[in-house]
Structure 1
Amino acid sequence: MTPPDDRPRTTDALWRERRTTTAALVTLVVLVAFESFAVTTVMPRVADVLDGHALYAFAFAGPLATGVVGMVVAGSWSDRHGPFRPFLAGAVLFVVGLVVAGLAASMPVLVLGRLAQGLGGGAVNVTLIVTLARAYPPVLHPRAFAWFSAAWVLPSLVGPAVAGIVAETAGWRWVFLAVALLVVPTSLPLLRTLRPLGPPESGSDVSPAEARVRVLLAVVVAAAVLALNLAVELSAVPSAVLAAVAGVGALVAVRPLLPAGSLRARPGLPSVLATRLLVSGAFFGAQAYVPYLLAARDGWGPAASGLALTTAALAWSGMSAVQGRLGQRLLSRDAVRLGTVLVVAATVGAWLTAAAGLHPAVLVTTWTLAGAGMGLASSRLNVLLLGYSGPGTQGRNSSALSIADAVGAALALAVSGVLFALVSGASAAGEHGTGGGEEVVGTAGFAVAFGLTVVLSVLAALVAPRVGVPPTERHDEPASVDDDAASRA
């Protein structure tokens, strides 16, 4: 008699053996997700209290910039010595950054805390993936990633509302401090799992000299993004000059960290990275100003102004689930095309809301479209990346995708911050003696910031068709010349 197949039971047993580690990993992702939604929700109030409107975009772009450094350092560190030390260092920096931000008496000090938080967060994000790869057998990877995705759903539902309630009752500082207090006990079970994980047996395929160069390039990228934000403090002409130099410097430095041809949007894998950079810049560059506009122009409180973030996050999760069910019945290339078009529609709607004074419901509705577009585009860009990556390039290419994600958002936030400050300042200067200038100033600044994201989203939609069809999705469809070249890239 043939014994029954016990593979499902064995898989479940493997999963149960790691339930403590899984619970810690998922809880940490939940905290990171909550912090992301919560800070975006309360930052308008923080800027009011600390008189830091000029550094508003810096508070978002700075952590993204230093996060690039954390990703590169933690990646090389984990490959050579295992994930324990980089995770510990990253978690400590993340907590310290949250505490500094929560206790800040001025906006520059809060930004300093956010920089430390970004550096630590970038390291933690990389080591979480390394931990998953090292501590879980491949059969458990799909289940673990599904839990990672699900971990963003609850914060998207309650994060903005909870952050608004905390800000209105206990004070905005506890949005930062509460997360810091919760990260510490959450990390302790992970440390026990990470300590035995030494370097991989195969070793790192990146030489120490190359690793140092990559870290140096990441530092240059971060410095360039931070210089873009400092341009806000200068007068018009020096600000524009510094912004132009820093923007070019960031793109030059990030180029070697991405696959060849990414900044030229060559067909295939390079266009996957270019699309990710552009669409992330459009989405996150605009999202930072969505609750800001609702608070500054329409007088919405933190809880209400976070509504658009909640609906967008739900749409992101919902559309991501839909594309997952469709599988290969929907080509990734077509999903990315549709997703970027939806982001274009959303950024245009945000721009019209600010420029034409439309009802705030228009902004909430259109920003929900942005979430749906990102659910399609972001998910399938990940699929395309793996489709174009061989076994020896999956790690490096995945790192490149994270870098493109962060740099696109950081540059968009930095440039929009410069434009917002310049235009708002110029409008304010022209309003002396005319009366009723406060609303006009806000509208002008928001319109220009959203206008930049419209340009980025249109560029993403133009590049999206060049992502092609990887070998893993080719069945009966004849391969084009561009697709063949892309598969060899």
Structure 2
Amino acid sequence: MTLPESPASIWDRQRIWVTLGAVALIFLAAIEALAVTTVMPIVSEALDGKELYAVAFAGTLATSVIGMVAAGAWADARGPRGALYVAVTLFVAGLLISGLAITMHQFLVGRLVQGLGAGGQTVALYVVVARLYPAHLHGRIFAAFAAAWVVPSMIGPFLAGAVAEYLDWRWAFLGVAVLTGAAFVMIAIRLRGVDLGHGEPQDGRALIARLLLAVVVAVLAVVVGFSADMSPAFRWPVALGAVVVIAVAVLPLLPRRTLRAGRGLPSVVLMRGIAAGAFFAAEAYIPYLLMERFDFTATWAGVALMLAAFAWAGASALQGRYGEQLGNHRISLISLGLLLIAMVCVLLAALFGVSPALVIIGWAFAGGGMGLLYPRLTVLTLAYSDETNQGFNSSALSISDATGSAVAIALAGLGVATLGGGSGAFGVVFAFGIALVVLAVVPGLRLGHAAESQTP
């Protein structure tokens, strides 16, 4: 009598080391993302670059689009292994450049290089998941990725603030670079003997065209950010003109009918960009608001982000377990409702000086909303894909995420620069977030249903 085979799991003997390595990279990316949000007010002060505050976020997201396109094409043509290795190397190099910078412009160069690596790493990991994990495990592996934010949520913001306040902000970048290098060595060893597929030949001209378009999108997104440093007469015309060109240039990088909220994959990709723009544009200014409006130190401003990160991880775990029962439309509406509550809370705190507790507790609702939404959209993207377009579709999802975030953060920064700071400027940021959340309802009702509910 033979014993039945144990069911496939993300922790089984075949996949455990890949899971651990991938989760480690996500973990360290989470540490870095939380650290930047916490320490940027100090960095911009130390390097005399307050007017370029938003570019430090938007620039990284903008160049990540180039990394996403390159990694997606590479993964489709030759498999995701090489794309992942190069992306992680660029990510570490960018951290080192930023951590050693002595001017704001040098710091921004590092952030741009880091963005190339971060974008490529995300797409390459998604394709690794698609090649190694059966469809019924996708929800669990992406929930594990999201749960990799739990420990950074516990220590990341507080540690980054404490490092910046008591040691030097540079270690918030250099420390992550060292640890990422160690995680990279581990996953490289574990993937050496794993078959990730060899892909299919790609149209060289089409690839070059897509890369050029990605460069255009990235450059113009950075231009939107730098417009805050221009003469007031040119700020908004330059920024809005760049946004229009971005909308045209990004079209070939996304599924057809994305900007028209076509049913199915186009709406999945569009919703990711709008929701990301709303959340990250607002979150970039949460520590700034707490420091400027409520006299928080960097350490305590970092602590203020912890509750939202806990909520994100917890909601992701719930989505991984109960996502099928809730359904796509219900998850969409619940998530947007939570985001709306959060935006209203921080808007009231910014305009009327209500207790900072309203900011901290309110922003936890935003974390919960994103925790439900993000992994669900990723699962849907893979469900709408096959081996011929996994790289393109994963790239498109991340491009929408990064482009929406970069443009929204840059426009928020432009609004702050136009009003010259103060509670009114913060209010503009969060009111803009509310508008984006309301807009996201349109694609949220058109997500459709793919094969995400199939079981083996």
TM-score (norm 2): 0.92
- CA shift, 1:187, in A, is 1.3
- The equivalent of 1:455 in structure 2 is 435
CA deviations on 1:276-335 (whole Å, 9 max, x unpaired) are 211110001100000110011211112211233211111112222223333432121111
1:343 counterpart = 2:344: no
Which structure has the bigger radius of gyration? 1
Alpha-carbon RMSD across the aligned residues, in angstroms, is 2.6
Cα distance in 1 between the residues matched to 2:112 and 2:3: 55
Q: Give the letter aligned to residue 351 of structure 2.
A: A
- CA shift, 1:462, in A, is 4.1
- CA shift, 1:150, in A, is 2.4
- The equivalent of 1:110 in structure 2 is 107
RCO greater where, 1 or 2, for CA within 8 Å and sep 6 or more? Answer: 2
Cα distance in 2 between the residues matched to 1:156 and 1:177: 19
Count of equivalent residues = 454
Within 5 Å, give how 1:17-416 maps onto structure 2.
Answer: 19-134=16-131, 144-194=141-191, 200-201=197-198, 203-204=200-201, 206-389=202-385, 392-416=388-412
Cα distance in 2 between the residues matched to 1:168 and 1:468: 48
Cα distance in 2 between the residues matched to 1:28 and 1:98: 14
Counterpart contact for 1:134–1:197, Cα < 8 Å: no
CA 1:199/1:112 → structure 2, altered by over 3 Å: closer, same or farther?
same
- CA shift, 1:343, in A, is 1.0
Cα distance in 2 between the residues matched to 1:218 and 1:326: 36
CA deviations on 1:243-298 (whole Å, 9 max, x unpaired) are 01111111111111111111122333322222221111000110000011001121
Q: Give the letter aligned to residue 360 of structure 1.
A: P
Counterpart contact for 2:55–2:222, Cα < 8 Å: yes
Cα distance in 2 between the residues matched to 1:453 and 1:13: 36
Q: Secondary structure at the match of 2:440?
A: helix
- The equivalent of 2:2 in structure 1 is 3
**Greater CA drift, 132-141 or 142-151:** 132-141
Q: Secondary structure at the match of 1:148?
A: helix
Q: Give the letter aligned to residue 4 of structure 2.
A: D
Cα distance in 2 between the residues matched to 1:311 and 1:74: 33
Q: Give the letter aligned to residue 428 of structure 2.
A: V
CA deviations on 1:364-421 (whole Å, 9 max, x unpaired) are 1111111111122223323443444456444422221111111111110111111111
Taking every aligned residue pair, what percent have the same amino acid on both sides?
A: 43
Cα distance in 1 between the residues matched to 2:316 and 2:17: 27
Structure 1 unmatched runs, 5+:
425-440, 475-489
**Greater CA drift, 297-306 or 16-25:** 16-25
1:467 counterpart = 2:455: no
- The equivalent of 1:445 in structure 2 is 425
CA deviations on 1:123-156 (whole Å, 9 max, x unpaired) are 2222223344456677876664443232121111
Q: Secondary structure at the match of 2:305?
A: helix
CA 1:137/1:268 → structure 2, altered by over 3 Å: closer, same or farther?
closer
